[in-house]
Amino acid sequence: MKQILKYLSIAVFVLLPVVLSAQTQKVEPIPLQQALELAPQEGKKILVDVFANWCPYCQRMHSEIYPSEAVQNAISDYFLWVRIDVESDAKVNYHGEEMTEAEFASALENQNVPTAYFLNSEGAILGKQPGFLKQDLFVNLLKFVGSDAYLDQSFQDYAGEK
């Protein structure tokens, strides 16, 4: 009996981390061009996270909100995630047009950081939400846009149902 308990306890310590890590797969941002190529194939929309390194609310979104399990799951279910730094000279490719991340943010007519842009699988803008968003609100917004609920109801109605 002691031998069985010993093996069970070893199995729990070995398998528990594997089971827990399988529950939430960490989602990482990908380049814009890759997102535009993969989104139609995967049937996903594109989440564009426009930020600035100096922005404290952007830093909070990246350290507190995006890493949360609920946000990670919502992004994984519905989106490919792209990060765009409003001050970066790094090159991005949007449908064959090469520009810097800063120029792309300008092309989006971005005025605030942080701002979450929601693009369809072809890269057309569906909408945007500026500002720091608390986790529950952001998850609801991701699911609202990702599930296409926005097509037939307001966010207030959708969020009221949750």
Query: How many domains does the chain contain in total?
Result: 1
Pairwise CA distance, residues 71 & 81, whole Å:
11
pLDDT exceeds cutoff 90 at 161? no
**Of 25 and 15, which is predicted with more confidence?**
25
Which residues neighbour 117 within 8 Å (Cβ) at sequence distance 6 or greater?
Answer: 47, 48, 50, 108, 110, 125, 127, 128
More confident residue, 25 or 37: 37
| In-domain check, residue 6 | no
Report percent pLDDT > 70 for the chain.
85
Residue 147 belongs to a domain = yes
| pLDDT exceeds 50 at position 12 | no
Q: Apex CA 151: angle with CA 83 and CA 130, to 5°?
A: 35
Q: Which residues of 1-30 are buried (b: 16+ CB within 10 A; e: fewer)?
A: eeeeeeeeeeeeeeeeeeeeeeeeeebebe
Residue 10 lies in a domain: no
Residue 115 belongs to some domain of the structure:
yes
Q: What length is written for the chain?
A: 162
45-57 residue pLDDT tens: 999 999 999 999 9
pLDDT band at 1 (very low <50, low <70, confident <90, very high): low
In a domain, 74, yes or no: yes
Domain contains 18 = no
Predicted local distance difference test score (pLDDT) of residue 25: 76
Residue 50 phi, psi dihedral angles, 5° rounding: -95, 125
Please report whether residue 144 resides in a domain: yes
pLDDT digits (tens, 9 = 90+) for 86-131: 999 999 999 999 999 999 999 999 999 999 999 999 999 999 999 9
- Whole domain around residue 125: which residue ranges? 28-161
- Write the CATH number for 81: 3.40.30.10
